[in-house]
A and B are shown apart, each in its own frame.
Chain A
Amino acid sequence: MKHTRFLVLITLAFASVMATSSSPDPMIFVSASPCDPVARHYLDIPKDFDCEMIKWRLSLYKDPRNQSPTRFELSYTYGMTKPGTEGFMNGGFAKELKGKWTATKSTSQRAGSHVYQLIPDSRPGTISFLKLDENVLHLLDLKGNFMIGNAGFSYTMNKL
């Protein structure tokens, strides 16, 4: 009897965890981008803050039951580049953004099959990426155009 009750409890606990959790292994995309006004706007970086590079790490979680998008976590560091390294002067300034994300089929005939849209919990507005393939996303501007980088950095996100 005790054994049966224990098994039922374990089963219920497992089912509860499965029902509420997102995929334990998110898709992770990384990038080093410029720090243009649109990116500053998306990431709440003050316009007068000395910034020439943003390092992005975007984790996209899916519901394990049906693979539909659930939560996202975006951690990013920004600041001035440290010459001769891939890092920042004084380590840069780190922030995080969390929320929900959606994936919609792109209706445009251009490259890219889906638009991934981040909807942050903490503030209004969205951040959109075009999915170019399974491994490569590209940040879009407020009008849905490709964000234009510079000679050093681009707004392309690469799967880790």
Chain B
Amino acid sequence: MRAMRKLMVMMLTITFGNVYAQSENLLNIPSKTTTRIPVEEGPNVWGVFHGRVPCQEMAKELKMPVESSCEKLKWAFTFYQDPATRQLTAYKWEGSLFRNKPAEGKCVLLKGMPDNPDAVLVQLNPDKPEHSVFLLKGDDNVLFMLDSNKNLIKGTDYLSYTFNRVVN
């Protein structure tokens, strides 16, 4: 009887140990930032998202001039929230095209894409509609840049219009 019990315990340990080890190894979590300066964190930070997008197409979308040799834009978005309500309040947009001075402004969450009224979007510059930029919130960790009609933009075999949450 004692031997049986020992055997049962051993089998359970091996089974659940393996399951735990496997799920531990297969975590899908935000990657650590590769920047020299740590990303902002704290109760007023909604999230920091990094990504690279095709240069010519994106610049055309944003009506910003770029060199003809420009292939990709490396961008970092820091989104801020009200610590009390956790409502999105502001953004900082850094990287290519904004090397000298980050773009900053207000931002809000809103609902609705042309083919999906429930989709959640982040709108940059809601107070300046002519300069508004929209990102689709896939979930808490992944955002997709949209065009001016709030449609997804097709990327290439090397670059997409996706921004991923990063942490320190």
Contact = CB atoms under 8 A, between A and B. Distances in A.
A37 B166 CA distance: 17
A55 B30 contact: no
B157 interface: yes
A36 B116 CA distance: 30
Contacts of B159: 32
Nearest to B117: A109
A151 B28 contact: no
B146 to A, nearest CB: 11
Interface in A127-160: 132-133, 135-136, 138, 141-143, 145-156, 158-160
B156 interface: yes
A59 to B, nearest CB: 13
A136 B76 CA distance: 22
Contacts of A113: 115-116
Nearest to A41: B26
The DSSP consensus for interface residues of chain A is: loop
Nearest to B151: A133
Identify the interface centre among B25, B139, B162: most chain A CB within 10 Å of its CB.
B162
A148 B28 contact: yes
Contacts of A152: 52
Contact of A132 (B34, B51, B152): B152
A34 interface: yes
A111 B119 contact: yes
A122 to B, nearest CB: 20
Contact of A37 (B25, B30, B139, B141): B25
Contacts of A111: 113, 116, 119-120, 136-138, 144
